[in-house]
Structure 1
Amino acid sequence: MNSIISLSKESFLCSLFCLLSLSLSFAQGKKYYNPLAEQAIQGRLKILDQATDYGRLPQAVKSAVREPVWFLGTNSAGQYVEFTTEADSIQVRYKVKHALNMPHMPTIGVSGVDLYARKESSFAWEWAFGQYQFKDTVTYNFNNIGSDNKRTFRLYLPLYNTVDWLEIGISSNKQLQFVRKDSKPIIVYGTSIAQGACASRPGLAWTNILGRDFENEVINLAFSGNGRLEKPLLDLIVAEDASAFILDCIPNLAITRERSEAQLDSLIRHAVSMLRTKHPNTPIILAEHSSAGTPGFQNIHTMYEYGRSSHVAASTFRQLKESGVKNLYFVPAKAFSLDVNSTVDYAHPNDIGMIKIADTYRDVLQKILK
């Protein structure tokens, strides 16, 4: 009996030793790359090319913007990394600073990453499913994805969390090369809807969907509850040499006791005027609230609120056009075609809604940018 117990102990210790050896060998068999150190982050303002964090706003404006704007600006929404590698397995490990999820948005949307790839010979994007663990260090393992150095990978960063550090790991006998393309970006200034609420994963935020339809970077300057056409943000946008500006702030500019229709009209005019001062010919796109007038919504008061601010935006647009402002475009709420299956709540689109919004802006931009 004692000999059997002794043998069992030896077998257990041997198995444990083998597992530890394999784990150590696996860890030692990988090498990790830091995209921030390589200045490989895309989808953010040019002024941030040499930034040492994953924020969307430069430190220089911290005292100029309101506190919630700065906080949301530390979220990595819309940012991505592109690279090539022949490795058939990729590990992404990173740490985030805040809550992993929200009541109406899942962990992989708030705090996850998302991996796509495109071959040199095709414009079609492919997607890789990752096995993930959300612990103190978040890890995504993308395994058995094929070995092809003709692909360019695009890794999207979390939509609603702040990345502390991030590394991309591959087998030590493989190579990884970061890729950066110069392009005139499409800049989106918006609200929670544009920041990414409530996509199930980062690649399905409408700005990221849109980015896969164009060779231009899409820069996400959207701030949940705080897209208000404010001067410090407009100053940053004006400094960019963009291919188009999208101002999608109406969801955060409701008509209230503190904001009259005349004041909203003034905000829109001021934003357009600021952009036109330095960019006389760059297309500017204004939009109504994407959920305004959605058929089937029973919440009458909410629909009235959305419709009222959208009506002001439409009226201001018409007057600006009549006054001679060129290359100014407008997207009415009906163009987004949202319905009762398109949102998770009163306004925030689910994946269906995100696709509809992205498709609408794509059609507008394809006509404008040709």
Structure 2
Amino acid sequence: MTTDKPVDKNMLGNETNVEENITWLSVEDCRLRLSGFAFFEEDHKLERIPNRLKSVFNEINPCLNELGGNTAGGQLSFRSSTSRILIRAKITAVPNMVSMTPVAQCGFDCYIGESPKNLKFFGITKFDRTQSEYICEVVSKLDTTKVKEFLFHFPLYVGVKEVEIGVDSNAIIEPPTPYEKEGKLIFYGTSITQGGSASRPGMAYTNYLSRKLNLEHCNFGFSGNGLGEYEVAKMLSEIEKPLLYIIDYEANSGTNGRMVKSLDDFIKCLRESHSEVPILVVSRVPHLMDLLDESAGTLRNSLREFQRGTVEKFRSLGDNAIYFLDGYTLWDDDFDEYTVDFIHPTDLGFYFMGKGLEPIIREILNKH
């Protein structure tokens, strides 16, 4: 069968120019909860790094400023009786990544439920990948007799200049159900932490954990640049009300020796501001080269034991709020099936990471 479009209509785009009887809600609407942008109140920008630190980062690692403009970890939430949801967005670039879908890199996905405990995935922005602006009808034909919970995940690997949510003009709009507790999970790491290579934003393991735990989180995964800079640790220490720091940057700093040089000072910097906030150090998940290259496997084992030993050293000095997790335990022997390129997880890899971390994080938070 010859066709210039996909046979399955579900593979077609959902862009629209029909805006009749639609009310547009901005991210600063008081009925919406914007989360994941720790410095938004300071700069009113959908970015992960505050303006005041950009000159500092430009000196130590300019890549951080570019990656800090990516909106990984951003979320919008509210409750509504609307029958449909539209998203109108302006992004900083068009999709250009080989191993990530356009929606993961540059789009939004939507979860809906009666409460945060039963949110289900409902749709994505299916936009023209050659354009940096789009309006998409993500969901339609919803029951208007019930007020439901809505959650939107921001793009993982692009910046968002503007975004608005479109709802029925006569719909009820309310603030979302509060998080389980006040405070933030703060993730620091690499491209994997940032969400590469999920198929859509909600499948990044940090977003998965935020939904399952019903907690706000901030994603400070910097693709290829999780290098453990002291200045980054200082930035993380300035974030208000941290619940838990999850540190996972071996994949970028192991083979170049930077983790061995930086981890101790990184932890000390966090402790200077937050002496009792728990810290979880996670060594990296398996790579196929660990099995194929003996020297790579030996180095990987050495780095795992270094991280374990660093945590044990802090605990021996009286820090009972620091923990270590061997990342190898998050995947089983089929781990080669869980990535797109032997390194970056697919949705399956992220699912197992989230499922493995969830009970560990719950246990830590229950203790503290």
TM-score of the pair, normalised by structure 2: 0.85
Corresponding position of 2:68: 73
Q: Deviations over 1:86-143 (max 9, x none)?
A: 11111001011123141111111111101012314x7121121246222342233111
User: What is the rounded CA distance, in whole Å, between the counterparts of 2:311 and 2:225 in structure 1?
Assistant: 22
Q: Aligned partner of 2:109: which letter? A: D
Corresponding position of 1:9: none
C-alpha deviation, 1:61, in angstroms: 0.5
Of 354, 359, 362, 1:358 maps to: 354
Q: Deviations over 1:26-73 (max 9, x none)?
A: 42322211114658420121x322533211111011011121101000
User: What is the rounded CA distance, in whole Å, between the counterparts of 1:301 and 1:185 in structure 2?
Assistant: 38
User: What is the rounded CA distance, in whole Å, between the counterparts of 1:231 and 1:321 in structure 2?
Assistant: 21
User: Cα RMSD over matched residues?
Assistant: 2.4
Corresponding position of 1:14: none
Q: Deviations over 1:190-212 (max 9, x none)?
A: 11001000000000000000001
Report the secondary structure of 1:212's partner residue: helix
The answer as to 2:320 corresponding to 1:326 is yes
Q: 1:346 to 1:115 in 2, by over 3 A?
A: same
Q: 1:304 to 1:143 in 2, by over 3 A?
A: farther
Of 87, 91, 98, 2:93 maps to: 98
Corresponding position of 2:41: 49
Corresponding position of 2:27: 35
Corresponding position of 1:316: 310
The answer as to 2:194 corresponding to 1:195 is yes
The answer as to 2:249 corresponding to 1:253 is no
Q: Deviations over 1:339-358 (max 9, x none)?
A: 11111113111101101111
Q: Aligned runs of 1:176-187 on 2, under 5 Å?
A: 176-179=173-176, 181=178, 183-187=182-186
Aligned residues of 1:245 and 1:285 also touching (Cα < 8 A) = yes
The runs of 4+ residues in structure 1 deviating greater than 6 Å are none
Q: 1:144 to 1:116 in 2, by over 3 A?
A: same
Q: 1:37 to 1:101 in 2, by over 3 A?
A: farther
Report the secondary structure of 1:213's partner residue: helix
C-alpha deviation, 1:299, in angstroms: 5.2
C-alpha deviation, 1:323, in angstroms: 3.1
User: What is the rounded CA distance, in whole Å, between the counterparts of 1:118 and 1:124 in structure 2?
Assistant: 5
C-alpha deviation, 1:295, in angstroms: 9.6
Of 61, 64, 78, 2:56 maps to: 64
Q: 1:77 to 1:114 in 2, by over 3 A?
A: same
Aligned residues of 2:114 and 2:147 also touching (Cα < 8 A) = yes
Aligned residues of 1:132 and 1:139 also touching (Cα < 8 A) = no
Q: Unaligned 5+ residue runs, structure 1?
A: 1-22
Q: Aligned partner of 1:29: which letter? A: N
Report the secondary structure of 1:265's partner residue: helix
Q: Aligned partner of 2:273: which letter? A: K
Corresponding position of 1:272: 267
Report the secondary structure of 1:357's partner residue: helix
Corresponding position of 2:159: 162
Q: Aligned runs of 1:282-321 on 2, under 5 Å?
A: 282-291=277-286, 297-298=291-292, 300=294, 302-321=296-315
Q: 1:86 to 1:37 in 2, by over 3 A?
A: closer
User: What is the rounded CA distance, in whole Å, between the counterparts of 1:136 and 1:229 in structure 2?
Assistant: 33
C-alpha deviation, 1:321, in angstroms: 2.5
Corresponding position of 1:236: 235
User: What is the rounded CA distance, in whole Å, between the counterparts of 2:177 and 2:322 in structure 1?
Assistant: 30
The answer as to 2:102 corresponding to 1:107 is yes
User: What is the rounded CA distance, in whole Å, between the counterparts of 2:255 and 2:172 in structure 1?
Assistant: 55
Corresponding position of 1:208: 207
TM-score of the pair, normalised by structure 1: 0.84
Report the secondary structure of 1:211's partner residue: helix
Q: Aligned partner of 2:92: which letter? A: K
Aligned residues of 1:200 and 1:350 also touching (Cα < 8 A) = yes
Q: Aligned partner of 2:349: which letter? A: G
Q: Unaligned 5+ residue runs, structure 2?
A: 1-15
How many residue pairs get matched?
339
Report the secondary structure of 1:173's partner residue: coil
Q: Sequence identity of aligned pairs in percent? A: 23
User: What is the rounded CA distance, in whole Å, between the counterparts of 1:148 and 1:226 in structure 2?
Assistant: 48
Report the secondary structure of 2:219's partner residue: strand
Q: Aligned partner of 1:125: which letter? A: L
Q: Aligned runs of 1:139-150 on 2, under 5 Å?
A: 139-141=135-137, 142-150=139-147
Q: 1:273 to 1:249 in 2, by over 3 A?
A: same
Aligned residues of 1:128 and 1:145 also touching (Cα < 8 A) = no
Q: 1:147 to 1:64 in 2, by over 3 A?
A: same
Q: 1:133 to 1:368 in 2, by over 3 A?
A: same
